[in-house]
Amino acid sequence: DIQMTQSPSSVSASVGDRVTITCRASQGISSWLAWYQQKPGKAPKLLIYAASSLQSGVPSRFSGSGSGTDFTLTISSLQPEDFATYYCQQANSFPPTFGQGTKLEIK
């Protein structure tokens, strides 16, 4: 299985801050990567697919980049509704695997 490692595991930030979360794959996955946002008690929501494509309806302050083994999710200016847990997921090969999550908390 391809292992997905996110960093940091948690981060504290303020409204208006720029935040970057990284995801590293244990082997190359080209651009077969998705990012999700999950709020407590809710299902995950797809934000980014194919490493850098914004899912319909997702605000443009979210962006993704990377290819191969190293990927980033950037939130350009944090809004109150962005405080949540974020997961990456590789879709290069079965089984699809998720990172352990990054919890974004209010400073």
Partner 1 sequence: QITLKESGPTLVKPTQTLTLTCTFSGFSLSTSGVGVGWIRQPPGKALEWLALIYWDDDKRYSPSLKSRLTITKDTSKNQVVLTMTNMDPVDTATYYCAHSRIVGFDYWGQGTLVTVSS
C-beta of residue 45 within 8 angstroms of C-beta of residue 36: yes
51 by Cβ neighbours in 10 Å (0-12 / 13-18 / 19+) ranks as buried
Decide whether 32 or 82 has the Cβ nearer to partner 1: 32
Residues in a beta bridge with 97: 90
Using CB under 8 A as the binding rule, whether residue 15 contacts partner 1 is answered as no
Could you say whether residue 43 binds partner 1 (CB under 8 A)? yes
Q: Could you say whether residue 71 binds partner 1 (CB under 8 A)?
A: no
Q: Report the interface residues with partner 1, using CB under 8 A.
A: 1, 31-34, 36, 42-46, 49-50, 55, 87, 89, 91, 94-101
